[in-house]
Chain A
Amino acid sequence: SQQGEEDPQALSIQEGENATMNCSYKTSINNLQWYRQNSGRGLVHLILIRSNEREKHSGRLRVTLDTSKKSSSLLITASRAADTASYFCATDRSNDYKLSFGAGTTVTVRA
């Protein structure tokens, strides 16, 4: 079963708008990672946030982590058509060195 679940499943926004997606997980984790996948291709790493961190930035990306709520959010600011992709969160449980991916959020950025 998957450790992480993204919400929403799909998101459609206008170019220039912000996109926010959430990831919830079930058990304690060491790290949480976000990946992007363009249609049918390999995944690309976006950002890793450790369990003792609350917020991290990378360019137009902002990730937050709330371990008390077992949730994370990914914010993409000023979206571009090239941001159209599926976004996955991946978690590793504290006692289990496997990386588990959520089902993903499909983001469509309209020009």
Chain B
Amino acid sequence: KAGVTQTPRYLIKTRGQQVTLSCSPISGHRSVSWYQQTPGQGLQFLFEYFSETQRNKGNFPGRFSGRQFSNSRSEMNVSTLELGDSALYLCASSLGGSVTGELFFGEGSRLTVL
């Protein structure tokens, strides 16, 4: 069965622009979580969606937003990009939720902000 797919894998943006990242979970998984990974801050939780509803949110500014569609695919959007938004953005899917069992991660989208 196909794994978690994230697109694009790499992207370069400039300050002030906005970006949309996409995540297709494993078939049948209803939960999608997003994490930001940087060398300085490690893995930081962004948000989790379950059946199209945001179930939980991390401590990120409102420039970071997300949504989940009826087919469980999820997107996250970052508006007004800042240099500090450069990071590896990881998406993970699970059957029942991030805290109930195994998370399956995608390979990530590496965002560079110039």
Contacts and interface: CB of A to CB of B under 8 A. Distances in A.
A41 B104 CA distance: 12
Contacts of B48: 98
Given A99-B33, A99-B45, A101-B43, A43 B98 contact: no
Contacts of A30: 99
Contact of B108 (A42, A88, A100): A42
Contacts of B43: 88, 101, 104
A33 B33 CA distance: 16
A12 interface: no
Interface residues of B, number: 26
Interface string B32-52: 010100000011010010000
Contact of A40 (B35, B88, B99, B102): B88
Contacts of A88: 43
Contacts of B105: 35, 42-44
A13 interface: no
B15 interface: no
Contacts of B97: 97
Interface in B72-106: 88, 90, 92, 97-106
A103 B42 contact: yes
A98 B42 contact: no
B55 interface: yes
A31 to B, nearest CB: 7
A98 B90 contact: no
B9 to A, nearest CB: 11
Given A41-B107, A44-B105, A99 B90 contact: no
